[in-house]
Amino acid sequence: MEDKLMTKYEVMRYLNISRRHFEKLVTEENLPIIKITKNKRYMRLSDLHLYLNTKMVNQPQETTQEPQPDKDFQWKNIWSK
């Protein structure tokens, strides 16, 4: 599978961020980019995913069992007046 190269503007749309925020991520947060010229910058989609995974605060964890409903829960207390 070929890794897709995304333009700066595609990355901005993907992350739903402004150009100023993109520049901040590149300079201060070490967002991995491929710089061709001053204004031509690209990013590999796989690098973006790796970057996002390292910045994720609450990473999803695997569940090993189904949650059990609380048998003592009183639905009548919620819906009654």
Domain range annotation of the chain: 5-55
How confident is the prediction along the chain (81 residues), in pLDDT tens digits per residue?
A: 568 999 999 999 999 999 999 999 999 998 999 998 888 899 999 999 999 888 877 766 676 666 666 666 666 666 565
User: Which of the listed CATH numbers 1.10.10, 2.20.100, 1.10.3470, 1.10.150 matches domain 5-55?
Assistant: 1.10.10
Q: What is the predicted pLDDT for the residue at 78? A: 62
Q: What is the predicted pLDDT for the residue at 2? A: 65
Q: Which residues 6+ apart lie within 8 Å of 42 measured at CB? A: 5, 6, 7, 8, 33, 34, 36
Q: What is the predicted pLDDT for the residue at 60? A: 63
Task: Characterize the bridge pairing of strands 34-35 and 41-44.
Answer: antiparallel
Q: What is the predicted pLDDT for the residue at 53? A: 87
